[in-house]
Structure 1
């Protein structure tokens, strides 16, 4: 999307509104990113802490902690665009985005709340003992791409046939299958 389209959609007439309010296009994207990731990752942190307290922090709990806050955010913001926004970001990074080099890492959003997501994805990766070590990052990253892609496809539907909570249950099962496959 071009800046002029965003400005028009926001009801502004001045194409420099983005620069005036955010300083740059990148800062606008980071503001959108933070507006969603902060509450999503706060919810993730609570789910993780609860599962750890119950001594039930297994792969299913980890995937639920990844998925459920995304679905809750989508339900809060109807219509939702967050999964599509995330899908566009994922299109700009390496397939194996958990293994970032220093140059690529500089382009990625790094807020304190994102550390919760990163730690969760590392926990998922570290639980994949059935895979060779050099495949674990990629498998966890593929799971993330799969979930975001499916949620983005759901968002694009004008009248979704599948209720969001039903999709959440199906994504949980299939994401677990993807992670547990040999």
Structure 2
């Protein structure tokens, strides 16, 4: 197994296994075995640590997606909520339809391990074991989500919570789409994208 092939195999196995069982439901040993490595220290060799492996999975997807999000927003002088939501959702459609994908399911599992307020970042209270990716492109995503928050007609804390709920709705919807595609029953991507965006906007605009 070549160096590049061995590294890719670890990334493929980790993303797929975590998508099915969660960030904390998969061991490094299982990933190494599934990837076909004989060396038990393969993750340390290629990525430095388990978190380094997780960061490398993010690096496969997130920078390109968030660059596309930033470009979609930059192309509009004063984007409204619908356009901001489209800028969030569209790159996800592009990513999960490009090839057999576990990316939305990987995100679904990650979101299950962190607080509802996705804009809050990691907690440093001594009791937190949350994993947050080291990915500079997430600054573009945070900026977009913050702009969506400002467009929500609610007090700031309520608006942030609403955005956190919508992010989970979108990711969970696309995770379900990935599963349905494996069973050859997924809806057509563009129609699905439009439906998800309409529902996300309705959630953001709903009054409590």
> TM-score normalised to the size of structure 1?
0.90
1:83 equivalent in structure 2: 104
Distance in structure 2 (CA, Å) of the matches to 1:110 and 1:125: 23
Would you say 1:160 and 2:182 are equivalent positions? no
Distance in 2 (CA, whole Å) between partners of 1:80 and 1:102 is 30
Match of 1:68 among 66, 90, 108: 90
Gaps of 5+ in 1: none
SS in structure 2 of the partner of residue 51 of structure 1: coil
Report if aligned partners of 1:19, 1:25 keep a CA contact under 8 Å in 2: yes
Equivalenced residue count is 177
2:53 is equivalent to residue 28 of structure 1: yes
CA distance in 2, matches of 1:20, 1:172: 42
What is the CA deviation profile of residues 28-85 of structure 1, one whole-angstrom value per residue up to 9, with x for unaligned ones?
0001012111100011111011123xx4x11011101100001101111x21010011
Q: 1:110-139 deviations in whole A, cap 9, x for unaligned?
A: 42210000000000001112x233200000
Could you tell me how far apart the structure 1 residues matched to 2:73 and 2:119 are?
A: 19
Give the structure 2 partner of residue 120 of structure 1.
144
Give me the TM-score of the superposition, normalised by structure 2: 0.79
Check 1:109–1:99 CA distance in 2 against 1; reply closer, same or farther (3 A cut): same
Is 1:98–1:138's contact at 8 Å kept on the other side of the alignment?
Answer: no
**Aligned match of 2:118:** 97
Q: Residue 185 of structure 2 aligns to a residue in which SS? A: coil
* Structure 1 CA distance for aligned equivalents of residues 134 and 150 of structure 2: 21
Distance, in Å, in 2 between the alignment partners of 1:120 and 1:86 is 17
Contact 1:45–1:116 (Cα < 8 Å) also in 2: yes
> Aligned match of 1:58 in 66, 80, 84?
80
Change (3 A) 1:168 1:181: same
Distance in structure 2 (CA, Å) of the matches to 1:3 and 1:166: 38
Change in Cα spacing, 1:105 to 1:58, as seen in structure 2 (3 Å) is farther
Return 5+ residue gaps in structure 2 as ranges: 1-25
